[in-house]
Chains A and B, each alone.
Chain A
């Protein structure tokens, strides 16, 4: 080796020596991630928990350690349960990386000395006022616990200022005690919508209406699942909540069409809807939309895990086994990111995944793993009982998953439903060619708010099943990262040769 090459080799060795090494990296500090990291550390794994928010809790327990809404009746006992996850985590000895966004996961070459290969993870840390910094870490196993996001709800005008998601409303309430005033309408369906309404009522917020888009026919469809629901933990809470909400807020059921309209200032001024064959209009200041949540699959797709279409929930899910293991060796997924099942189920799945990893890394044997996991598996079964009923009942109606006309489908690039449909009609074979034609999926959200809709529209126009249509091919970076940050990461002689090719 000449001097330059051996210098670079020792540079690389010293950079490698400085990169933190973990047995397990858990991505996401919601219930699944907190429970997984706590259990893993408890079993002796060198564990790090990384999360993009400044404080743990994910979205469901957002700000549970710092919320100004200290009257516990407002947010409710289910929310405050989140505190019970924070303290054990803080004591667990796991490393906590906050305000840190994972944007790349790559397999490492097998190391000398027979060590398993594992992963190199790149992430960005953004602390107030400073330039973001890219960092690397190495780990032998990963548990993704990145949870869920709001399902896209593409109605005409959904991009207007004044329209936010119900989840956004909840976050404003939890993190800052900020609530809507003026004329406020909630629209859509799903347990979270009613939960938010309930929390608002407890906080003294006046709601003008809830526009329910749940088709009445869904009740019949859901009926076969009713027995499990009746025996589930959801029944009691659900009934109390619904009764309170229905008593206090005007409900319009069977809404089949919904539109948000702008006023003179270009912001939301009016909501128009159709129910019972009649069209009506309401002047509004805020519209909060919600039609369920879907798994956040950007990281799991970019890392190459196999995904399947969930026909009951009309969304993609990573394929996982009972331990949370995916088709990617040493990579597991726990919580809503593996399939929507709620906060309690997420906790149990997090612990099950952690126990599996401990066995995979040889920390405990399989008998111990099975013993450890048993109570969590039983709890998981109890926590998921009755969910099918809710899933079928609140399955969004077709017209709200498959918009038409000028309705914006890709918020970032402003591609409309008709543009997507037209491209599908002239033979566009799938979401990736659609992306190439219309730029949908190329914006900073990386398809999070348009991907499902694009898949469904192609399916609609071409009479194909969404599972055959497929989804965007995603690659790292899974969140935007500055050029300057990428430039600070280690290069190699091979990478330089591949890029700078001038030779005398």
Chain B
């Protein structure tokens, strides 16, 4: 599990942002990446791999491992660690290979 450091250690200067993760509303902070918001909310697994269906979660937090893939606002295979949260954003677990929306 992960938690946010609280005041007085941390200045909660940023606005609160509301995102919807797999249908559940979550409060996070402006400036969080989607991955950080997930960790802070106790979510460590964000996808099932296309190869074997194994569960994976963010690993490197710097955009090089591609394990943090999620569906953001309906768009598949987005890197959660490289996407800043936005009010009203929907985040869904990436289930295996992405689909092609014909």
Contact = CB atoms under 8 A, between A and B. Distances in A.
B94 interface: no
B40 interface: yes
A179 B4 CA distance: 6
Interface string A151-178: 0000000011111110110011101111
B26 interface: no
A127 B15 CA distance: 19
Contact of B57 (A161, A165, A178): A161
B101 interface: no
Given A52-B63, A167-B61, A181-B1, A66 B31 contact: yes
Contacts of A445: 64-66
Given A70-B11, A161-B44, A178-B39, A411 B2 contact: no
Contacts of A162: 44, 57
Contacts, number: 143
A407 to B, nearest CB: 14
A287 to B, nearest CB: 11
Interface in B1-26: 1-5, 8-14
B51 A414 contact: yes
A178 B67 contact: no
B5 A203 contact: yes
Contacts of A177: 4-5, 9-10
Nearest to B85: A128
Nearest to B31: A66
Interface residues of A, number: 53
Contacts of A167: 60-62
Contacts of A54: 84
Interface string B39-83: 110001110010110111111111111110000010000000111
Given A176-B40, A443-B66, A449-B65, 15 more contacts: A63-B31, A68-B13, A69-B10, A149-B64, A159-B59, A161-B46, A161-B55, A167-B61, A168-B61, A171-B62, A173-B5, A175-B33, A179-B3, A411-B67, A444-B66
17 contacts: A52-B82, A68-B13, A126-B82, A128-B86, A129-B86, A159-B54, A159-B56, A159-B67, A165-B61, A176-B40, A178-B40, A179-B5, A180-B2, A203-B9, A266-B55, A267-B44, A445-B64
